Chain A
């Protein structure tokens, strides 16, 4: 298994540009989520999905959209990038949403918005 994969690894955007961060998992996990990590800080939840076709907002959802058309993929869209969205983005997945299981994280996408 490749686990959780993310692309791209690095991205530089100008203010106002849009882009999609890709996330895929090959473990047939129901639950997927997106976090952001600002320098020297812990991770904060952006959006999550408990299954295909179902998404919901996390702690810091503003400026981001998600969709879950398949079990494997969970893309994160920035519609109009802002410098405040400069961060490292991590995608995670787990078998289901229960508290008694582990989450698997991808390697991250480092995004800079100028």
Chain B
């Protein structure tokens, strides 16, 4: 599976937008880009995913570069509750042998009041 690279940590002010970057230069044409987050002492939580086009849902937006070698998770107005570790994960759409989510180190987002 292709790997992703994320900054170890980022800081944001409450109620401001947050842009979390992810590089995946070896992405293949069938890889989906998934984002999960993990709040302290909780299990991971699905945030959003996409293949080629930008995606929006109630939690966030996902902006995918035209060459798909990078993507950005956008939280439109950060709240204290958004402080978590955010994981950018690639999942091969051809993989039928298992439904693996390969978690790297992620980005620890700190939100200041």
Question: Chain A residues in contact with chain B, CB under 8 A?
Answer: 4, 31, 33, 35, 41-45, 48, 50, 56, 58-59, 90, 92, 94, 96-100, 102-108
Contacts and interface: CB of A to CB of B under 8 A. Distances in A.
> For this complex, into which size category does the number of interface residues on chain B fall?
20 to 34
B32 A103 contact: no
Contact of B99 (A41, A50, A90): A50
Contacts of B42: 107-108
A97 B43 contact: no
Interface in B38-77: 42-46, 49, 51
Interface string B65-104: 0000000000000000000000100011101111111111
B43 A31 contact: no
15 contacts: A4-B43, A35-B103, A45-B98, A48-B99, A56-B97, A58-B98, A90-B44, A97-B96, A98-B93, A98-B99, A100-B93, A103-B99, A105-B44, A108-B42, A108-B43
A106 B46 CA distance: 12
Given A43-B103, A45-B100, A58-B100, A99 B44 contact: no
Contacts of B34: 102
Interface of B: 30-32, 34, 36, 42-46, 49, 51, 87, 91-93, 95-106
A106 to B, nearest CB: 6
B92 A99 contact: yes
Contacts, number: 72
Contact of B43 (A59, A102, A107): A107
Contact of B87 (A42, A59, A90, A106): A42
A44 B43 contact: no
A64 to B, nearest CB: 15
